[in-house]
């Protein structure tokens, strides 16, 4: 498909503008290739002429249709789309897909349609009115439609230096993120994730990410929900406990001292029930919303009896926080896994999540749950 689409671009320009520069190449192999391409074009043209006889709509709309190499399969698609949603941008993309002789799936079609959004209008205006320049931009759109699948195409697009496509890149990411909510096909999701990750690397940090509402729900730590607060996060709620203290502040007086021995602001070094040391799993274990921490052994012992939290005397709700943690952690891991090659910092967090079983804590803050990663 890649070679086809690359080969299709010169054909397009040659067919539309009779660009002499292509034929003046001194390189023999290039000439040979050109001959081959010409031969294929002749073949396509003959096929297209035969097929176009049965397709009056395309001819009426635009005179360039017979001259364009249009495949058999995409011809039918073209007819459908023309009758159904004439004047939409998707027609351009399908037109491009027909060049590459590959029926592509719908998300990629919409992708290229957004990229070529400036080529709006009726069917085939992208190639008819713009001439060579617009056709090259259209082919750029075609490439960027493929870009999410193969990196070679990414390079192609950068080499072409089509500024319009690059400018529209963020808009495409936004549109894709919005599109992702509608299309739940599993095949589409990795494409969207990769796009958003590219966007993140192009952007300038958290501010640019949070300013895009379209990217919500794509990256968990960039969105409002499921946010994993860092200890140094400026927007971290004050009410969340300070987890950094647990390693540096052993406080034995807190264990059996008077008053309230537990506090949201610190993690005791010993279990207040059995006075044994809390290990990392214990200290990241938060079985109750009241913030009372205890070791897993004592928690199990209490569950065997009345099952009430020693801190607030409320019933442990069938370990709801643990479930939340696993659910949140699971989604976090899945989402991060797609953009793992893009962000090193994310990768670190991801590794910790995968390698250890409980390095995060879930907090409820103003009715929503947030995860805190202990790294």
Partner 1 sequence: MIDFARVQKELVECSKDAEGSGIRVIPKSDNLVHLIGTIPGPIGTPYEGGVFQIDITLPEGYPFEPPKMQFSTKVWHPNISSQSGAICLDILKDQWSPALTLKTALLSVQALLSAPQPDDPQDAVVAQQYLKDYQTFVNTARYWTESFAKTSSRGIEVKVQKLVEMGFPEAQVRSILEAVGGDENLALERLL
What residues pair up with 270 in beta bridges, in sequence order? 277
CB-CB contact of 203 with 152 (8 Å): no
Binding of partner 1 at residue 313 (CB under 8 A)?
Answer: yes
Q: From 10-18, 79-87, 266-274, 346-354, give the range in contact with partner 1 by CB under 8 A.
A: 266-274
User: Exactly one of 32, 39, 249, 275 binds partner 1 (CB under 8 A); which one?
Assistant: 275
Binding of partner 1 at residue 305 (CB under 8 A)?
Answer: yes
CB-CB contact of 94 with 74 (8 Å): yes
- Which two structure tokens, joined as six digits, stand for 322? 């643990």
Between 18 and 314, name the residue whose CB sits nearer to partner 1. 314
Q: Applying CB under 8 A, what is the total number of residues that bind partner 1?
A: 19
Between 298 and 375, name the residue whose CB sits nearer to partner 1. 298
Q: What is the residue-wise DSSP string for 38-82?
A: HHHHHHHHHHHHHHHHT-HHHHHH-TTTTTS---HHHHHHHHHHH
Collapse the DSSP code of 203 into the 3-class scheme (helix H, G, I; strand E, B; otherwise coil) and give the result: coil
Binding of partner 1 at residue 310 (CB under 8 A)?
Answer: yes
What's the closest the beta carbon of residue 294 comes to partner 1, in angstroms?
A: 8
Between 293 and 328, name the residue whose CB sits nearer to partner 1. 293
User: Exactly one of 273, 296, 303, 343 binds partner 1 (CB under 8 A); which one?
Assistant: 273
Q: From 25-33, 34-42, 225-233, 267-275, give the range in contact with partner 1 by CB under 8 A.
A: 267-275
Sites for partner 1 among residues 245-264 (CB under 8 A): 255-258, 261-262
Cβ of 340: how many Cβ atoms within 10 Å?
17
What's the closest the beta carbon of residue 226 comes to partner 1, in angstroms?
A: 32
Alpha helix locations (H) across 252-319? 253-256, 280-283, 296-304
CA angle 260, 261, 267 (to 5 degrees): 130
Between 59 and 274, name the residue whose CB sits nearer to partner 1. 274
- Which two structure tokens, joined as six digits, stand for 101? 């002789």
Phi and psi, residue 189, nearest 5°: -65, -45
The whole-angstrom separation of Cα 179 and Cα 167 is: 19
The whole-angstrom separation of Cα 321 and Cα 74 is: 52
Q: From 24-32, 94-102, 107-115, 309-317, give the range in contact with partner 1 by CB under 8 A.
A: 309-317
Binding of partner 1 at residue 143 (CB under 8 A)?
Answer: no
Task: Give 57's contacts (C-beta < 8 A, 6+ positions apart).
Answer: 79, 82, 83
User: Exactly one of 206, 302, 340, 375 binds partner 1 (CB under 8 A); which one?
Assistant: 302
Binding of partner 1 at residue 311 (CB under 8 A)?
Answer: yes
Binding of partner 1 at residue 274 (CB under 8 A)?
Answer: yes
Q: From 70-78, 80-88, 301-309, 358-366, give the range in contact with partner 1 by CB under 8 A.
A: 301-309
Which residues are at the interface with partner 1 (CB under 8 A)? Answer: 255-258, 261-262, 272-275, 292, 298, 301-302, 305, 308, 310-311, 313
């Amino acid at each position: 498909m890649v070679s086809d689409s690359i080969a299709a671009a010169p054909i397009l320009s040659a067919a539309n503008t009779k660009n002499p520069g292509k034929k003046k190449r001194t390189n023999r192999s290039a000439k040979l290739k050109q001959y081959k391409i010409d031969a294929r074009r002749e073949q396509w043209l003959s096929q297209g002429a035969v097929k176009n006889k049965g397709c009056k709509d395309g001819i009426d709309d635009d005179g360039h249709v017979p001259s364009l190499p249009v495949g058999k399969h995409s011809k039918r698609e073209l007819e459908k789309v023309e009758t159904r949603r004439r004047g939409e941008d998707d027609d351009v993309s399908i037109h491009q897909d027909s060049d590459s002789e590959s029926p592509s799936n719908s998300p990629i079609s919409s992708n290229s349609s957004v990229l070529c959004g400036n080529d709006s209008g009726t069917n085939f205006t992208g190639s008819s009115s713009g001439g060579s320049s617009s056709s090259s931009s259209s082919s750029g759109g075609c490439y960027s439609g493929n870009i999410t699948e193969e990196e070679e195409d990414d390079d192609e697009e950068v080499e072409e230096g089509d500024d319009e496509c690059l400018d529209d890149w963020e808009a495409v990411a936004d549109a894709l993120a919005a599109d992702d909510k509608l299309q739940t096909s599993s095949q589409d999701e990795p494409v969207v994730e990769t796009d958003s990750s590219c966007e993140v690397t192009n952007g300038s940090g958290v501010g640019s990410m949070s300013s895009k509402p379209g990217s919500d729900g794509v990256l968990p730590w960039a969105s409002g929900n499921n946010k994993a607060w860092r200890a140094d996060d400026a927007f971290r709620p004050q009410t969340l406990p300070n987890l950094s203290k647990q390693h540096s502040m052993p406080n034995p007086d807190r264990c059996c001292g008077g008053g309230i021995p537990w506090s949201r602001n610190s993690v005791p070094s010993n279990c207040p029930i059995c006075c044994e040391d809390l290990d990392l799993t214990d200290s990241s274990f938060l079985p109750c919303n009241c913030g009372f921490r205890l070791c897993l052994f004592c928690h199990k012992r209490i569950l065997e009896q009345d099952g009430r939290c020693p801190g607030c005397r409320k019933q442990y709700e069938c370990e709801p926080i643990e479930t939340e943690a696993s659910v949140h952690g699971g989604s976090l891991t899945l989402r991060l896994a797609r953009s793992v090659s893009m962000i090193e910092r994310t990768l670190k967090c991801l590794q910790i999540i995968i390698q250890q079983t409980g390095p995060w804590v879930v907090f409820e803050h103003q009715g929503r749950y947030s995860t805190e990663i202990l790294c």
